[in-house]
Amino acid sequence: MTSPALRVHNVWKRFGSRDALAGVSLEAPRGSCFAMLGHNGSGKTTLLRILATLSAPTEGEAQVLGHAVGAESGAIRGKIGVVLDRHLLPRDFALRDALRMYADLYGVRDANARIEDLAARLGLARRLRDPVRTFSRGMGQRASICRALLHDPEMLILDEPFTGLDAAALAITDEVIQETVAEGRTVVLVTHDLERAARLATHSVVLSNGKKTFDGDPVEAAAAATAGRGLAG
Ligand SMILES: Nc1ncnc2c1ncn2[C@@H]1O[C@H](COP(=O)(O)OP(=O)(O)OP(=O)(O)O)[C@@H](O)[C@H]1O
Ligand SMILES: [Mg+2]
């Protein structure tokens, strides 16, 4: 039997005296679009950063694509593409060179063709020669999606990927998510766009104050997340 895409068991993350995550357990099958919903400060980004191997849990265990976070973080990094709220691309590089740097890091074959392809898909073909620092917020976001897709990852991890995108870029991002799932890959999606989550996700959880308060159908989760609004703190 193949391992699930995500397996999180009793994960805690403490920042000083604050529990950002207080014993979260969850599982996501491969080929799912797994949405994590919840109010500001509920622990979504904290959990996403742990899954993306950018931060270690204080307690508990997590596996991504069958690899243990921590001991096998290197193997995980090669198989995931991550979009966080900041784009992480070197500001003074032309987009083409910035993407090339990541492509080389990942050992992407036919890197130039892949970069042209992705830039065209994300509507950035004409900006490949421009320094990243000249990009608008939405363009930076699209560049970040290009970077995340470069090495054809088995899992896409997206933290609020829709913020700042115009209608065309939103449609492209929806398409990227749907195609990724249709190919049997997994998308882990954190968003406040509940309508989108209900439409795109196949599985979902709601976090509240570092705890999982809902696990199940995305349409019901969106309703549960709405009901939980105003309880942040
Ligand atoms: N580096 C940090 N140091 C101290 N506290 C932190 C740190 N990162 C997160 N926290 C705290 O952990 C809790 C969860 O934060 P997190 O960023 O995971 O929330 P979130 O669900 O992503 O919220 P949002 O919807 O606003 O993005 C918050 O109380 C936050 O203040
Ligand atoms: Mg967040």
Give residue 116's identity as a one-letter amino acid code: E
Q: Which residue has 């549960």 as its token pair? A: 224
Q: What is the pLDDT of residue 228?
A: 63
Residue nearest atom 27 in ligand 1 by C-alpha distance: 40
Q: What integer is the mean pLDDT of 158-183? A: 93
Question: Residue 26's pLDDT band (boundaries 50, 70, 90)?
Answer: very high
Q: What is the pLDDT of residue 45?
A: 97
Q: What is the pLDDT of residue 49?
A: 97
What is the best residue among 12, 13, 14, 18 to mutate for testing ligand 1's pocket, by most ligand atoms within 8 Å of CB?
18
When the pLDDT of each residue in the chain is averaged and rounded to a whole number, the result is 93
Q: Which of 80, 83, 57, 26 is nearest to 207 (CA)?
A: 26
Evaluate: CB of 31 within 6 angstroms of ligand 1.
Answer: no
Regarding beta strands 211-216 and 67-68, do their DSSP bridges make them parallel or antiparallel, or are they unpaired?
unpaired
Residue nearest atom 2 in ligand 1 by C-alpha distance: 15
Chain centre distance of CA 226: 21
Q: What is the pLDDT of residue 231?
A: 43
Residues 191-217: tens digit of each pLDDT:
999 999 999 999 999 999 999 999 999
Residue nearest atom 3 in ligand 1 by C-alpha distance: 15
Question: Residue 39's pLDDT band (boundaries 50, 70, 90)?
Answer: very high
Chain centre distance of CA 164: 16
CA of 48 to the centre of ligand 1 (A): 11
Whole-structure pTM value: 0.94
**DSSP class of 82:** E
Q: What is the pLDDT of residue 226?
A: 80
Q: Which of 133, 125, 146 is nearest to 82 (CA)?
A: 146
CA 98 to CA 130: how far, in whole Å? 10
Asked whether residue 232 carries a pLDDT value surpassing 60, the answer given is no
What number of other Cβ atoms are within 10 A of residue 133's Cβ?
A: 11
Evaluate: CB of 15 within 6 angstroms of ligand 1.
Answer: yes
93 — phi, psi (to 5°)?
-85, 145
CA of 130 to the centre of ligand 1 (A): 33
Q: What is the pLDDT of residue 86?
A: 76
